[in-house]
Structure 1
Amino acid sequence: MNRFTNRFSDNNGQTKFDPKVIFNFGSLDKSTKSHLKNVYACVTMEIVAAAFGAAINCYLKSSILHFGGMIGLFVFMYLTVSSHNSASPLKRLGYVGGLAGCVGLESSYLLDYVISVDPSIIVTAFVTTSVVFVSFTLTALYAERRSMLFLGSLLSTALSGLFILSLANLFFRVPSIALFSVYISLIISCLFVMYDTQLIVEKKRLGDNDFIWHSVDLFIDFVIIFKDLMIILTDKEKKKRRNNN
């Protein structure tokens, strides 16, 4: 405790904030920190690839490109069965980049809809998603070791309930239930960020060095949060316009 306090104090005992302490993560060893850097570098690359894929399809507006989703499925299957040592890292990075691009292609319809309402929603949703993602990631890294892993079974159960609710709404078509599902999905995805972050750390400590596959989990969390926020913000904007009219 004294060593932690000293990081915020100078030699005279006066309070002095050192921003480096935020990203020090003293409980993590050097190897785990290096692994996390690779994971988040991959996540960043995947987000850029997804944005590129979405931009291409929004510009071309071609339904043919949506077959890229099938390609993404095969890429996902390949990443699932291939190990960290069975293929070169650059090759697997190319595969995961293609998967992220396909996710972007599949997201273009939603992006087109949001743009027709208010293009600024995309920027707001992306910035908010980034803040939420970083906040929950830091929470998981600073929390007690393995303290978030209990969420695994709870989140799996919640996902099952959400799936059943969404399936039922296909028949009843109740807008309020659909929007409620989006809010629940947002909460679940935020909790998954903490769970997946601590799970990645534990996997690394057990000898799993596959940072490429680990990044896919966090990328999926990021995309779902981003989509849910866009839907929520778009719904609020439409309600606001109806009230003004």
Structure 2
Amino acid sequence: MDAFTSFFDSQTSSRNRWASESLKNFRQISPVVQNHLKLVYLTLCCALIASAAGAYLHILWNIGGIITTLSCMGCMVWLLCTPTYEEKKRVSLLMAAGLFEGATIGPLIELAIEINPSVLISAFGGTALAFGCFSAAAMLARRREYLYLGGLLSSGLSMLIWLHFAASIFGGSAALFKFELYFGLLIFVGYMVVDTQEMIEKAHHGDLDYVKHALTLFTDFVASVCPYTDYHVEELG
């Protein structure tokens, strides 16, 4: 679901082609955009806290499942359809989406805690470190050439889906599984860079919808941490 959301958002944005002047933009990040980035990352942090709360609620009451998955998708669609001036409602929908997302991945987190709690810590810490480093690199880059990675990442994601499909039919080796894992992580780290630079470029052009931008980064983050956790749970299990 998260992969589909990131892929769909990237595909939609690729159709809105930037002018050649914006792709060659060497401007420093303006104070307005800096403030926008602060709001985006603060909102993202709150969404991750809501997601952690959702996972905790699953551990307490076993609420995660198809209902929370559909609820999460419904909240995301509702958020994207809500006018930007209804700011409080959109933030509430993002927090609800984070809560339901956390409950959805709750079974995986619960299993990781039962097997080895350090798996969860290393998965979250490693993803947070990669997310922070690559986001910082995207924000500090003067040029916007990373925006060109969108098409390459979409092709990589398509290849990953076909590999998974083929492995489910014909069977796959442990080496193929590891390749899928790390290749997938590489793709979603790439999406972090592209989405961050695209967010900055949109903010320079007046799009200061921090809730939508936080949603994009939230799906990138969750899509990166889940495969890592799943792999190590299976390896230890």
Q: What TM-score range do you get, normalising by the shorter chain?
A: 0.7 to 0.9
Distance change in 2, residues 1:83/1:167 (3 Å): farther
Say yes or no: does 1:135 pair with 2:133: yes
Shift of 1:229: 2.3
Task: Compute the TM-score of the two structures, normalised by the length of structure 1.
Answer: 0.80
Shift of 1:66: 4.1
Q: Percent identity?
A: 27
Shift of 1:231: 2.7
Shift of 1:212: 0.1
Three-state SS of the structure 1 residue aligned to 2:108 is helix
Aligned partner of 2:121 in structure 1 is 123
Shift of 1:61: 2.2
Shift of 1:165: 1.4
Any conservation in 2 of the 1:145–1:198 contact (CA below 8 Å)? Answer: no
- AA of the residue aligned to 1:84: T
Three-state SS of the structure 2 residue aligned to 1:150 is helix
Q: Distance in 2 between matches of 1:179 and 1:229?
A: 10
Runs (4+) of structure 1 exceeding 4 A deviation are 235-238
Shift of 1:172: 2.6
Aligned partner of 2:35 in structure 1 is 34
Say which one has the larger Rg. 1
Aligned partner of 2:58 in structure 1 is 57
Any conservation in 2 of the 1:32–1:205 contact (CA below 8 Å)? Answer: yes
Any conservation in 2 of the 1:149–1:195 contact (CA below 8 Å)? Answer: yes
Aligned partner of 1:8 in structure 2 is none
Q: Distance in 2 between matches of 1:178 and 1:210?
A: 38
- AA of the residue aligned to 2:55: A
Aligned partner of 1:243 in structure 2 is none
Any conservation in 1 of the 2:156–2:187 contact (CA below 8 Å)? Answer: yes
Any conservation in 2 of the 1:66–1:105 contact (CA below 8 Å)? Answer: no
Q: Distance in 2 between matches of 1:179 and 1:114?
A: 18
Q: Distance in 1 between matches of 2:47 and 2:70?
A: 18
Aligned partner of 1:82 in structure 2 is 82
Aligned partner of 1:216 in structure 2 is 215
Aligned partner of 1:47 in structure 2 is 48
Q: Distance in 1 between matches of 2:167 and 2:109?
A: 23
Any conservation in 2 of the 1:84–1:209 contact (CA below 8 Å)? Answer: no
Once structures 1 and 2 are overlaid, which stretch shifts more, 113-122 or 131-140?
A: 113-122
Which digits, 9 at most, give the CA deviation of each residue in 1:88-134, with x for residues without a partner?
A: 21111100111111111110121122223211211121111111111
Distance change in 2, residues 1:113/1:180 (3 Å): farther
Structure 2, unaligned runs of 5 or more: 1-26
Shift of 1:31: 0.2
Q: Distance in 2 between matches of 1:153 and 1:136?
A: 19
Any conservation in 2 of the 1:162–1:185 contact (CA below 8 Å)? Answer: yes
Shift of 1:233: 3.4
Three-state SS of the structure 2 residue aligned to 1:148 is helix
Aligned partner of 2:69 in structure 1 is 69
Once structures 1 and 2 are overlaid, which stretch shifts more, 114-123 or 89-98?
A: 114-123
- The size of the alignment, in residue pairs, is 210
Map 1:84-233; keep pairs closer than 5 Å: 84-85=84-85, 88-176=86-174, 177-233=176-232
Q: Distance in 1 between matches of 2:69 and 2:234?
A: 26
Shift of 1:69: 1.2
Three-state SS of the structure 2 residue aligned to 1:84 is coil
Task: Compute the TM-score of the two structures, normalised by the length of structure 2.
Answer: 0.82
Shift of 1:140: 0.6
Once structures 1 and 2 are overlaid, which stretch shifts more, 185-194 or 53-62?
A: 53-62
Once structures 1 and 2 are overlaid, which stretch shifts more, 151-160 or 225-234?
A: 225-234
Any conservation in 2 of the 1:57–1:105 contact (CA below 8 Å)? Answer: yes
- AA of the residue aligned to 1:141: M
Any conservation in 1 of the 2:63–2:103 contact (CA below 8 Å)? Answer: no
